Structure 1
Amino acid sequence: MAHFEADAVGQLSSPVAPSSRRLLPLLFAGNAAMYALYVGVGSVLLPLQIEHIDAASKVANLGVVGGVAALFATVFNPVAGALSDRSGRRNPWILGGGLAAVAAMALLGGVRTVLLVAIGWCVGQAVMNIYQAALTSVVPDRIPLRQRGVASAAVGLGLPVGSTIGVLLASAFSHHYQLGYLALGLLVAAAAVLFTSAAREQRMPPKQPMPLRAQLATFLNVLREHDFRWAFIGRALLVLGYFAVTSYQLYILQDHIGLPSGLEPSKAVAILTPISAVAMTVSTVVGGVLSDRLDRRKLFVGLSAALAAVAQLIPLLSPTWPGMLAFAAVSGLAFGCFMAVDTALVTMVLPKAEDAARDMGVLNIANAGPQIIGPFVASAVVSLGGYPPLFLVGGLLSVLGAAAVLPIRAVR
């Protein structure tokens, strides 16, 4: 374990080679465009479109569409990855997925029934997962092991920056959501063209994909490890609590929060998202540095998860616009610190250093799975009791996420 930890530190402190340095801004741009589409569609355009089709059933319909599309994406992602593995190339899949995103978004913006919206968003998820699977593989393919930390930071910054761009762009077209879909598709296409024209690649030997049975065995084996299993559970619970609330943010602003006169809900989302993104970026850096200096991981993971629970109480106790501003800032601080420190914690409880990439892939299920379940959970809670119980459920899940790290033995 000590040997693996030293390797991780070495990765973060090593200078970046010139060839790798040229990839970093391209990786940032490619990931930022991807998150812009995911967050812009999921937070603004899709809820607006579903409300336009059937306002009375918007909560239930958004839960079904979001959940089905997320399930489809989770299943399709390894398929897309296997296709690029077999070809020994990444750039053609990045370019193809990016260009296809334009057509998929145009299709999604043009449909007029909930069923067709679900199908259209599944098509969008398919082409975006082709793009995402190939882009994600660039780091292990082309970045030396000792430079992965810097590359991961460039990729990670794509989330707050991309989500802000996506929400601002989607909100600008809130009254013409068809154009909003098209604009986000064009953004991904532009990033794909930029990446593939500036980052040339050499064909690699084709890889044989792992059979489904072997993938399932890998998943079950690594979850038998005590510390990793609790880290997995903690991550899944907090992500579920976070996305159960944020996926319904537009409807919360429409139906539960008292907004200032003249402020439309879609514009309010465009204000809240940058606040959360800035807070997330700051806490990611500060939390990571402090946890390194103090050599304490569980403390920071527990505090950030508890802070996430506090954030959920703010709009519950104060369903006002200032309350939502405070919620955005506090939840961003909590989620950014949690994700940064929890990722470091997980690297310290991986069963084997040589299987680190595989096991971190298993951990990604704790990120993706709750995003499948989240819309269904949120829809059921809101349908039964309205929005206040949704904040309670989100806070409870965050507390349980904090409690899940306590049994971990190998990390302070």
Structure 2
Amino acid sequence: MTEVAAPVRLGRLLPVLGVANAVMFALYAGVGVLLGLNVEQLDPAGKVSSLGLISGIGAVFATVFNPVGGALSDRTRSRFGRRVPWMIGGSVAALGAMALMAGARSLFALAVGWCLAQAMMNLFQSALTAIVPDRVPEDNRGTASAVLGIMLSLGGVIGTLIAARFAANIPLGYLLFGALVVGAAVLVSVFARDSRPVEYTVAQRPRFLSAMRHRDFMWVFIGRTLMVLGYFMVLSFLLYILKDYVGLPPGMKPADAVARITLISTACSIVATLVGGPLSDKLNRRKAFVTVAGVVASLALLIPLLAPGWGLMMVFAMIHGSAFGLYFAVDIALATLVLPNPEDAARDLGVLNVAAAGPQIAAPFVASAVIQIGGGYAPLFGVALVLCLAGALAVLPIRSVR
């Protein structure tokens, strides 16, 4: 059975992992904005349904390739470490997919490029996220999760800010995000090398869904699925929500509005994460933090539901960002503590990541249907509220983690 590599130099490992996670999420957030703008250029009349379709199909590839990539990296033996080949290979292939998107002149070509990008980014992501259970001791998981949570939030801000600056040159923006991910993979490979890259036990056969037989693992999966679904139903259409539902101040461009909302949300998320992650380590409590954060995040959705407006959207961003920052930071620690088999850490984290990628398949389709059937964006917030609340309560039956 695999044990955490020792000695672990967290002072060096966590900053490097943090930068790589920030770059990864910058691509997801930034390309999300550029993709919305690109779709609007190619299909202004049907942008809602077209964006939902492309995002949903792309998420199918993310869902499949995350656990597959995790299982492959679990079974890789290399003098550079079992995660490195998949980080480097996935990032380089993702850059190639970004190049395809940059040259796309139709919705079909754009969809093909995004599907390939999602697939290759999830090879990179599955290997990157497995480094925490590989090498970080359990009593430091909350702190590690806080660091990674902060960097994910910063990545979202950086990504949307970059996207706003490249709104007039979308192809170059795609290429820049792809190049940054390659740089992140090289950074981790060089400066966070595993001290014992060939000493891990390799299981004989990848049984992808075996972890779902473990009760606590299953409840974490369910909770994350519901929370992410509610979150992405709103996030997937944030550009259009701000432009067509909330209304923007005179002269403000939609991409700049997304960047500003993201910046406010991230600043609050960082504060909440800085406090909540280490505090969950100190108190040895995970479930309470996840539940309270999820409940607050769901209730925050009442603001745009009942009183849409640019000023109140900034208030919403403060509350929602704080709650989700705390939720995702501690949820990462919770997920690593319910893994059934350490030797299959990347595979099982990949399965848990299906709970993040899978809802992204449904979110654009469900959100698009709610918007069109409900006659606008308001019903979207009501449905997202119910889903997030259910996700927050889903972790309560977990027994092995306090």
Question: TM-score band (shorter)?
Answer: 0.7 to 0.9
Match of 2:86 in 1: 93
Which amino acid letter does the alignment assign opposite residue 28 of structure 1? G
Greater CA drift, 138-147 or 159-168: 138-147
The secondary structure found in structure 1 opposite 2:301 is helix
Distance 1:193 1:403 in 2: 39
The secondary structure found in structure 2 opposite 1:157 is helix
- Structure 2 counterpart of 1:267, from 256, 259, 264: 256
Identify if the C-alpha distance between structure 1 residues 81 and 306 changes in structure 2 by more than 3 Å, giving closer, same or farther.
closer
Q: Compute the TM-score of the two structures, normalised by the length of structure 2.
A: 0.85
Match of 1:312 in 2: 301
Aligned-pair CA distance for 1:133: 2.6
Which amino acid letter does the alignment assign opposite residue 160 of structure 2? V
The secondary structure found in structure 1 opposite 2:46 is helix
- Structure 1 counterpart of 2:11, from 21, 26, 29: 21
Distance 1:172 1:334 in 2: 28
Whether 1:192 aligns to 2:185 is yes
Aligned-pair CA distance for 1:290: 5.5
Aligned-pair CA distance for 1:370: 1.6
Q: Mind listing any 5+ residue stretches in structure 2 that lack a counterpart? A: none
Aligned residue runs from structure 1 range 205-216, under 5 A: 211=205, 214-216=207-209
- Structure 1 counterpart of 2:65, from 76, 89, 103: 76
Match of 2:40 in 1: 51
Query: Conserved in 2, the CA contact under 8 Å of 1:86 and 1:209?
Result: no
Identify if the C-alpha distance between structure 1 residues 196 and 406 changes in structure 2 by more than 3 Å, giving closer, same or farther.
closer
Distance 1:149 1:108 in 2: 37
Identify if the C-alpha distance between structure 1 residues 107 and 144 changes in structure 2 by more than 3 Å, giving closer, same or farther.
same
Whether 1:64 aligns to 2:56 is no
Match of 1:204 in 2: 198
Aligned-pair CA distance for 1:47: 0.6
Identify if the C-alpha distance between structure 1 residues 16 and 334 changes in structure 2 by more than 3 Å, giving closer, same or farther.
farther
Whether 1:166 aligns to 2:159 is yes
Aligned-pair CA distance for 1:300: 4.2
The secondary structure found in structure 1 opposite 2:182 is helix
Aligned-pair CA distance for 1:210: 6.1
Match of 1:7 in 2: none
Whether 1:390 aligns to 2:380 is yes
Query: Conserved in 2, the CA contact under 8 Å of 1:160 and 1:281?
Result: yes
Identify if the C-alpha distance between structure 1 residues 28 and 288 changes in structure 2 by more than 3 Å, giving closer, same or farther.
closer
Match of 2:389 in 1: 399
Distance 1:207 1:126 in 2: 27
- Structure 1 counterpart of 2:235, from 246, 254, 267: 246
Q: Percent identity?
A: 52
Aligned-pair CA distance for 1:327: 1.6
Query: Conserved in 1, the CA contact under 8 Å of 2:273 and 2:326?
Result: yes
Aligned-pair CA distance for 1:411: 7.0
The secondary structure found in structure 1 opposite 2:105 is coil
Query: Conserved in 1, the CA contact under 8 Å of 2:88 and 2:186?
Result: yes
Distance 1:402 1:389 in 2: 20
Identify if the C-alpha distance between structure 1 residues 204 and 22 changes in structure 2 by more than 3 Å, giving closer, same or farther.
same
Q: Mind listing any 5+ residue stretches in structure 1 that lack a counterpart? A: 1-10
Distance 1:221 1:135 in 2: 25
Aligned residue runs from structure 1 range 171-186, under 5 A: 171-186=164-179
Identify if the C-alpha distance between structure 1 residues 159 and 344 changes in structure 2 by more than 3 Å, giving closer, same or farther.
closer
Distance 1:171 1:248 in 2: 16
Give deviations 1:296-342, integer Å, cap 9, x for gaps: 65554443233222221211222211121112111111212223444
Query: Conserved in 1, the CA contact under 8 Å of 2:146 and 2:277?
Result: no
Aligned-pair CA distance for 1:261: 0.3
Query: Conserved in 1, the CA contact under 8 Å of 2:99 and 2:175?
Result: yes
Match of 2:23 in 1: 33
Match of 1:221 in 2: 213
Query: Conserved in 2, the CA contact under 8 Å of 1:60 and 1:383?
Result: no
Aligned-pair CA distance for 1:378: 0.8
Identify if the C-alpha distance between structure 1 residues 404 and 220 changes in structure 2 by more than 3 Å, giving closer, same or farther.
closer
Which amino acid letter does the alignment assign opposite residue 18 of structure 2? F
Q: Compute the TM-score of the two structures, normalised by the length of structure 1.
A: 0.83
Query: Conserved in 2, the CA contact under 8 Å of 1:230 and 1:404?
Result: yes
Aligned-pair CA distance for 1:55: 1.1
Higher helix share: 1
Distance 1:105 1:133 in 2: 19
Aligned-pair CA distance for 1:354: 6.4
Which amino acid letter does the alignment assign opposite residue 337 of structure 1? L
- Structure 1 counterpart of 2:353, from 364, 378, 393: 364
Greater CA drift, 145-154 or 20-29: 145-154
Match of 1:8 in 2: none
Q: State the number of aligned residues.
A: 393
Choose between structure 1 and 2 for higher RCO, CA contacts under 8 A separated by at least 6 residues: 2
Distance 1:148 1:289 in 2: 9
Aligned-pair CA distance for 1:393: 0.8
